[in-house]
Structure 1
Amino acid sequence: MAEKKPINPILKMALELGPIAAFFIAYVKLREQVFTIGGTEYDGFVLATAGFIPLILLTTGILWRLTGHISKMQIATAVLVVVFGGLTVWLNDDRFFKMKPTIIYVLFAGVLGVGLLRGQSYLQFVMEEVVPMQRAGWMILTRRLTFFFIGLAVLNEVIWRTMSTDMWVNFKTFGLTIAVFGFFMAQGRVFGKYAIEEEKDGGD
């Protein structure tokens, strides 16, 4: 297994959030325009999506190059971006890309749910090195995160099916990021109660 290499956290955040920010900027600049390519008309959303696909692959590749590691979550996200983003561009239909977050969150909830049914926390396997915590804490956090992902999937479906594309883009760019950040901030009591303190050498 390749050893993980340290990376500047600011650079890591820029690589992870950069494609989302670029998509938002491109959409805002192109949303009122229609482009004819090969005899087919494409709106700004579809073109922004077309640019997002290679960008997410590029930044994921850079992360792998710099750290020697890519999480399964990052791989799944990149694959779904290629599949649903590709369908959006190919069929000139923005519904596929709007469904992508739903599929991602249902997939994550399903994986975590299978682990819970087996009495395991797959989240612990991914985050244990970063956040040392007792098994009971991981099980609580995993249950909450599973329902949280289900909630996000439902919310994404409601927003893209009932509201404007502008509203969905704002939700995807800002709403989802704030929601995930807020969720983990709200778990402070769990992290505090079940944290594993590092053992100190008493020195005989």
Structure 2
Amino acid sequence: MADKKLNPFVKLALELGPIVAFFAGYVALRDRSFSIGGTEYQGFILVTAGFIPVMLASTGLIWWLSGKLSKMQIATAVLVVLFGGLTVWLNDDRFFKMKPTMIYALFAAVLGFGLLRGESYLQYVMEEMMPLKREGWMILTRRLAGFFAGLAVLNEVIWRTMSTDAWVNFKTFGLTIAVFAFFMTQGKLFQTYAFEAKEPDED
């Protein structure tokens, strides 16, 4: 399938839609339990079960509309199926709560591995969006690897020490705001290392 231009607002809606749906489902079912096949399931487990196909449908739509998926999107979908599936199968919410830890730890590890090789894997996937000089990509990659590692640790602390309500709020709002805030604070780096526009040749 050929690559197509996807409206950024549509892309954002498809990426955030499953998260918003998860939050809404959790708020509606968090205090309820359901007996299915003789087994009691809390609302959180059923919402997780619903989140998996919604996430896959959203990812599929992004691929259908744009003709491509980033490695980040593919890895996220795989981990959602893996940890979400374990949560439902074992009727244990800990697996789904660990999912953000695994996602961010994986991203940090991949970026860190590239840095050890003297490369910016981030540049490979985002160069078309943000044309930067090589030094800029290396700095941004180091910062983002550290940021992802910090989010992985923070997620572990929150789900292990706080209530499920607190973790859901953190996952829905905290992580999303943190990622946006990170890139908003990189404005000086983008200005410093952006490629200068080429002047038209003079006669």
In structure 2, give the amino acid aligned to 1:114. F
Q: Deviations over 1:53-102 (max 9, x none)?
A: 00011011111011000000000000000000000000000000000000
What are the equivalent positions in structure 2 for 1:88-127 lying under 5 Å apart?
88-127=87-126
Structure 1: where are the runs of 5+ without partners?
A: none
Distance apart, 1:202 and its partner CA: 2.4
Structure 2 CA distance for aligned equivalents of residues 62 and 137 of structure 1: 32
Equivalence for 2:177: 178
Q: Residue in 1 aligned with 2:50? A: 51
Distance 2:176 2:82 in 1: 22
Q: Which AA in structure 2 matches 1:112?
A: L
TM-score (norm 1): 0.98
Identity of aligned residues (%): 71
Give 1:11 deviation, angstroms: 1.1
* Alignment correspondent of 2:65: 66
TM-superposed deviation, 1:46: 0.4
Which residue of structure 1 lines up, in the alignment, with residue 35 of structure 2? Answer: 36
Offset of residue 194 of structure 1: 0.3
Deviation at 1:29, TM superposition (A): 0.2
Query: Bigger CA drift: 190-199 or 74-83?
Result: 190-199
Could you say which residue in structure 1 is the equivalent of 2:77? 78
Q: Which residue of 1 aligns with 2:144?
A: 145
- Which residue number corresponds to residue 162 of structure 1? 161
Aligned residues: 203
Secondary structure of the residue aligned to 1:35 is: strand
TM-score (normalizing by structure 2): 0.98
Q: Distance in 2 between matches of 1:200 and 1:92?
A: 62
Q: Measure how far apart 1:4 and its partner are.
A: 2.0
Deviation at 1:3, TM superposition (A): 3.6
Q: Displacement of 1:201 after TM fit?
A: 1.8
Distance 1:185 1:197 in 2: 21
Q: Distance in 1 between matches of 2:3 and 2:102?
A: 29
Give the 3-state SS of the residue equivalent to 2:41 in structure 1: strand
Shift of 1:197: 2.2
Q: What is the alpha-carbon distance in structure 2 between the residues aligned to residue 141 and residue 98 of structure 1?
A: 28
Q: Give 1:9 deviation, angstroms.
A: 1.5
**Which amino acid is the alignment partner of residue 197 of structure 2?**
E
How far apart, CA to CA, are the structure 2 residues paired with 1:60 and 1:45?
22
User: Aligned partner of 1:40: which letter?
Assistant: T
Distance in 1, matches of 2:147 and 2:11, equals: 25
